[in-house]
Structure 1
Amino acid sequence: MTDPLAVLAASLAAPGQPQTLFAALERETQALVGHKLFTLLFVDGADVARIYSNRPAEYPVSGRKTMGATPWGKHVLEEQRPYLGRDREAIRWAFFDHDLIGSMGLGSVINVPVIYDGTTIGTMNLLDVEHHYREEHVAPVARLAPVLVPAFLAARAGL
């Protein structure tokens, strides 16, 4: 079995950044824990802005939403803790767009903060059917988040 971090490190050296890295991360997280929706968001004040989505029809790149002043924002963005939502109630608690998420057949989530220099600069987000994710899925995904730092810094610099 190939080490996901080695695969992602190699993808950072390949041309076509940041899309090359994002696609590799999508594949590696799919192999590790699975997902039906995979998005990457960078933090811009109280907003988060989508810079990658494997389902752009429903969640387009460049979409924005205000998440800073929410309980989810406190947990993930401020306290820098991954969020594991196991069911639709957890999705409803965390996201104002829970109806759209539910309409896509999604009911569980892992959100991982991407942290640089003590600051949350973005999040990696995986969603799947209700009860798909468990506690043991969080750590393998969270260990991959630091590879996103260069791409997220570049996205923020492009504002």
Structure 2
Amino acid sequence: MLQSLLDTLAEPGQPTPLFDALAEHTRQITGHQLFTLLYVDGSEVARIYSSQPEAYPVSGRKHMGPTDWGNHVLRDKQPLLLPDKAAIKWAFFDHELIYSLGLGACINIPCLYDGKVVGTMNMLAPEGQLTEDHLNAVKRLAGLPVAGFLAARFENNAK
């Protein structure tokens, strides 16, 4: 399957084909119902991919202040498993929207380039569905969306 994901990089229209394939591959591993990619550039972030754009649309850049989630994932560069609704509430101000979608568990994987977090892969599923085994399986894929994150940075900085 990894070779199939790597082959997707050669398809035209990047990064969407890769992001779609990555969303599907991680869904097969975790059973997630929402997959997003969050681009990071300094203190600014932007959602550049969403498997549910009606609920979580792709958005422009915005400043992100310090949070416990940001400290863990962005500053400390550590993957994070949020297995239940209490953990979701701890991490995200929009937890009510997450709950309304029937979701109550999350995995966040920092994606690094040159020692810096350039984005995160985020998978959300019903409460109790995601485990450490899922986190360990998907964190090996963290390098795949890096080219898309760097392209987003270049695109946004060129404007």
1:59-98 maps to which residues of 2 (within 5 A)?
59-62=56-59, 66-98=63-95
Letter of the 1:49 partner, please give it.
A
Distance 2:141 2:129 in 1: 20
Q: Percent identity among equivalent residues? A: 55
1:4-56 Cα distance to aligned partner (Å, 9 max, x none): x2111000011110000000001100111111110001013323200000111
Q: 1:130 aligns with which of 127, 131, 149?
A: 127
Distance 2:64 2:141 in 1: 23
- Kept in 2, the 8 Å contact 1:112–1:125? The answer is yes
Distance 1:129 1:33 in 2: 11
- Kept in 2, the 8 Å contact 1:39–1:53? The answer is yes
**Deviation, structure 1 residue 63:** 5.1
Give the length in aligned residue pairs: 156
**Deviation, structure 1 residue 149:** 1.1
Secondary structure in 2 matching 1:139: helix
Q: Does 1:154 align with 2:140?
A: no
1:1-159 maps to which residues of 2 (within 5 A)?
3=1, 5-62=2-59, 66-159=63-156
- Kept in 2, the 8 Å contact 1:45–1:68? The answer is no
Using structure 1 for the length normalisation, give the TM-score. Answer: 0.94
Gaps of 5+ in 2: none
Secondary structure in 1 matching 2:90: helix
Gaps of 5+ in 1: none
- Output the aligned Cα RMSD: 1.2
